[in-house]
Amino acid sequence: MTYPDRIEVLRWLYGRLKPHRFLHTLGVEQLAVQLASRHHLSVEMASSAALLHDCAKNMSMEELLKICDKAGVDLKRNQDYPQLLHAFAAPIVAQKQFGPLPEELLNAIRFHTTGHAHMTPMEKLIFSADYAEPGREPFPGLMEARDLILQDLNRGTLLILENTVQYLQNKNQNIHFYTLEALQSLRQEIQSEGRDNVQ
């Protein structure tokens, strides 16, 4: 599989993202690459997915709605979560620019904010790298999450999902159904991992 040329992607992003978003993207890539080599996943895919994950972030709501509607995203079910549309739109925007990309990479981009049930390792990696990238302003639990995802991708991703749900609950904000499904599914996965280890 060949991925889009890194410099070409950076040049494209530089022209379409706000400076702080561009720097965040580089931070996500740095951690994603580190996680991929630590957990024996494709470094090239992690780099491309990280670079492209927020490529639709600075588009207008009107454009995002149009793209998501055309892609079959259930806009009614997602109407309380307009801030998530950039993730659902990103696979379409990225492929329009760089041609067909692997489904695994596209799903890692699509679910980078919400997670979802039965996440693949690459999806967990991008979700976690987005949360814990080195450029984030420090907040409670960040260092612990960063350390844990490097040691154990499943437990680290679970901690991030739990922190995210807690944060939203404290702010009285709705929690996306995909995030709740991700939390439940990953808890089960870790439980069955424990059972397999005992046997």
Look up residue 48 and give its two tokens. 């491309």
CA distances from residue 147 to 29, 142, 156 in whole angstroms, order as listed: 17, 9, 8
Residue type, 12: W
Kindly state the smallest distance separating residue 194's Cβ from Fe ion, in Å: 31
* Interacting span for Fe ion (CB under 5 A) from 33-41, 54-62, 119-127, 162-170: 54-62
130 binds Fe ion (CB under 5 A): yes
123 binds Fe ion (CB under 5 A): no
Q: Which is nearer to Fe ion, 25 or 154 (CB)?
A: 25
Question: Which DSSP string do the residues of 103-166 spell out, in sequence order?
Answer: HHHHHHHHTTTT--TT--HHHHHHHHHHHH-TTSPP-TTHHHHHHHHHH-HHHHHHHHHHHHHH
Q: Which is nearer to Fe ion, 141 or 190 (CB)?
A: 141
Q: Which is nearer to Fe ion, 97 or 190 (CB)?
A: 97
- Answer for which of 39, 48, 52, 54 binds Fe ion (CB under 5 A) is 54
Question: By the criterion CB under 5 A, which residues form the site for Fe ion?
Answer: 54, 130
